[in-house]
């Protein structure tokens, strides 16, 4: 790949077609998620800092049940194309609609745990299935 960032490359139809053909599927999905974040008016996860109140959007990559101090906790990894975010619902074993591949908007205060961004018990909104 060239050293010129994608945003500074010419944006002609032919150039976009070549970029799509030469990009991996993961790169294309990340680009689409970043565009969706901008369209929804949310903060990019990569731009979030410790103790900041944010509204983020992305796709749930994984959902696991992982007890914390003997209390059930449903954990999910939200990805928006810029960085991952761990979303944790304490005291919950499952939530209807929270499943891998689902798009979500979450709001709350970011915290840092073991070098990763975490959002505990967020307000959330599931995106309609038709928009996926």
What is the reported pTM? 0.73
Taking residues 88-95, report their average pLDDT.
94
Rounded CA separation 112/49 (Å): 8
**pLDDT for the residue 29:** 76
Determine the pLDDT at residue 18: 65
Q: DSSP assignment of 75-94, as one string?
A: EEEEE-SS-EEEEEEET-S-
pLDDT single digits (tens) 25-84:
776 676 777 777 778 888 999 999 999 999 999 999 999 999 878 889 999 999 998 899
pLDDT, tens digit, 9 for 90 and up, residues 10-25:
567 776 666 666 667 7
């Amino acid at each position: 790949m060239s050293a010129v960032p994608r945003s500074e490359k010419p944006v002609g139809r032919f150039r976009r077609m070549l970029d799509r053909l030469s990009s991996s599927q993961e790169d294309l999905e990340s680009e689409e998620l970043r565009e969706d974040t901008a369209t929804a008016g949310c903060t990019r996860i990569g731009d979030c800092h410790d103790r900041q109140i944010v509204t983020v959007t992305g796709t749930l990559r994984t959902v696991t049940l992982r007890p914390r101090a003997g209390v059930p906790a449903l954990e999910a990894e939200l990805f928006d194309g810029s960085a991952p975010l761990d979303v944790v619902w304490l005291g919950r074993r499952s939530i209807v609609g929270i499943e891998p591949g689902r798009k979500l908007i979450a709001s709350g205060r970011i915290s840092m745990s073991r070098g990763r961004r975490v959002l505990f018990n967020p307000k959330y909104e599931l995106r309609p299935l038709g928009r996926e």
